[in-house]
Amino acid sequence: MKSLNIRLLAAVAVMLPTMANAFPDGPVTLIVPYNPGGSSDVVTRVLAEGLERQLGSTVVVKNVAGAGGALGWREARDADPDGHTYALWVDSLAVMEVTKAADLKSSDYAAGCQFGEVPLTIFANAKKGPKSLAELKELSDARPGAVGIGMGYGTPAQFAAALARNELTDTLQLVNIGGGANKKAAVLGGHVASAVEPVPGVRAQHQGGELNIIAVLSDERLDGLDAPTAREQGVDLTVSLSYGLIAPKDTPSEAIEAVCGAVAGLADDAEFQDRLAGIDVTWRYGASGDWAERLSEITSETAEVGRALGFE
């Protein structure tokens, strides 16, 4: 009997790695809570292509748009926690939690892993707008309440604009304009002096001479972009949007480790890294535990700014 037990244990020991390596045993779905074609969709498709190479399995991008992202994040929250469904995290979910725009919160999910960041910018009209943060402050102080920084209400841009006002001057007016296209049109039309937008949304028009990025809100200058950071100008302001994966709450840690191990492997995937840089996303990997801590920090920081803006 003892010999039989030993043989059984040996057989199980051999089987365990095989079972672990079998995951995923079907397609992995990445839910994007926005329409096809936007920056969140593009970055997810770049990730999906890289993951397919790493996992040797099909990775499906599923767009579930509506209610500012809430529909997609609800579908991810309520999905079968079998390890095959993940959603793209963007900071809009933290803003949604703080503003109570939907019945969602970060703690509804299991942390997958982080894979990137995108710095925000403050931009102006290249021909007649302020050329620096100091000039934006000077213009605002000369006409208190009449000089604006454009943003979208209830979005990360609103929270970033509030932080910019805190660092520059309380005479700067936050102006609710809406999405990126509206903000750029308002700046080009001279309706607001400046606005907040992620780097990918303004790079082309900055390089084309229509818009001027007067500050990149990153720690260091970005390669290939002739634009100063806020810190270079003496303003301690860094704001980036984080990209990562989240999963249904009870997703097995082994499944998350398998998928995120594949994400980590993309650090050495030259094709993936080139494509990521090409859409202005900075590679930033954080394993599940680190990502969980970062999500908690983002939510806490967003809540602090939200209280100052009147969101309770």
Same domain? For 275 and 225 the reply is: no
Rounded Cα gap, residues 144 and 276, in angstroms: 41
Same domain? For 176 and 245 the reply is: no
Same domain? For 38 and 125 the reply is: no
Last residue of one domain, picked from the residues 199, 233, 267: 233
Same domain? For 148 and 211 the reply is: yes
Contact by Cβ (8 Å): 225, 199:
yes
Confidence of residue 159 (pLDDT cuts 50, 70, 90): very high
Q: What is the pLDDT of residues 210-247, one digit of tens each?
A: 999 999 999 999 988 999 999 999 999 999 999 999 99
CATH number at residue 140: 3.40.190.10
Six-digit token pair at 220? 């260091």
pLDDT score at 223: 87
Q: Output b/e per residue, 286-312; b: 16+ Cβ within 10 A.
A: bbbeebbebbeebbebbbebbeeeebe
Task: For residue 68, give the nearest of 138, 194, 157, 164 by alpha carbon.
Answer: 157
Confidence of residue 17 (pLDDT cuts 50, 70, 90): very low
Average pLDDT over the chain, rounded to an integer: 92
pLDDT score at 21: 55
CATH number at residue 93: 3.40.190.150
Close Cβ partners of 229 (under 8 Å, ≥ 6 residues apart): 215, 216, 217, 218, 219, 220, 221, 238
Helix (H, G, I), strand (E, B) or coil at 242: strand
Q: What is the pLDDT of residues 51-67, one digit of tens each?
A: 999 999 999 999 999 99
Rounded Cα gap, residues 248 and 274, in angstroms: 30
User: To which H or E segment does residue 297 belong?
Assistant: helix 288-308
pLDDT score at 173: 97
Rounded Cα gap, residues 224 and 132, in angstroms: 19
Same domain? For 128 and 210 the reply is: yes
Task: Tell me what percent of the residues of the chain surpass a pLDDT of 90.
Answer: 87
| Beta strand ranges found along the chain (DSSP E) | 28-32, 59-63, 85-89, 109-125, 148-151, 173-176, 194-198, 211-216, 240-248, 282-286
pLDDT score at 4: 38
pLDDT score at 100: 93
- Long-range CB contact pairs, 39-47, < 8 A, 24+: 39/118, 39/198, 39/200, 39/201, 39/279, 40/88, 40/90, 42/279, 43/88, 43/116, 43/243, 43/276, 43/279, 43/281, 44/88, 46/272, 46/275, 46/276, 46/279, 46/281, 47/115, 47/263, 47/266, 47/272
Same domain? For 140 and 275 the reply is: no
Same domain? For 228 and 268 the reply is: no
Per-residue pLDDT averaged across 71-90, rounded? 97
Per-residue pLDDT averaged across 272-297, rounded? 95
pLDDT score at 1: 43
Last residue of one domain, picked from the residues 184, 204, 233: 233
Per-residue pLDDT averaged across 106-118, rounded? 96
Same domain? For 205 and 267 the reply is: no
Confidence of residue 151 (pLDDT cuts 50, 70, 90): very high
Last residue of one domain, picked from the residues 211, 233, 255: 233
Same domain? For 112 and 129 the reply is: no
Same domain? For 213 and 225 the reply is: yes
Q: What angle do CA 246, 251, 253 make, to 5 degrees?
A: 95
Same domain? For 105 and 26 the reply is: yes
Rounded Cα gap, residues 71 and 64, in angstroms: 6
Relative orientation angle of helices 288-308 and 156-168, to the nearest 10 degrees: 60
pLDDT score at 37: 87
Instruction: Give the range of the structural domain holding residue 252, as residue numbers without chain letter.
Output: 2-117+240-308
Q: What is the pLDDT of residues 183-219, one digit of tens each?
A: 999 999 999 999 999 999 899 999 999 999 999 999 9
Number of domains observed in the structure of the chain: 2
Per-residue pLDDT averaged across 284-301, rounded? 96
Per-residue pLDDT averaged across 80-89, rounded? 97
Contact by Cβ (8 Å): 184, 202:
yes
Contact by Cβ (8 Å): 30, 88:
yes
Q: What is the pLDDT of residues 23-33, one digit of tens each?
A: 888 999 999 99
Same domain? For 179 and 286 the reply is: no
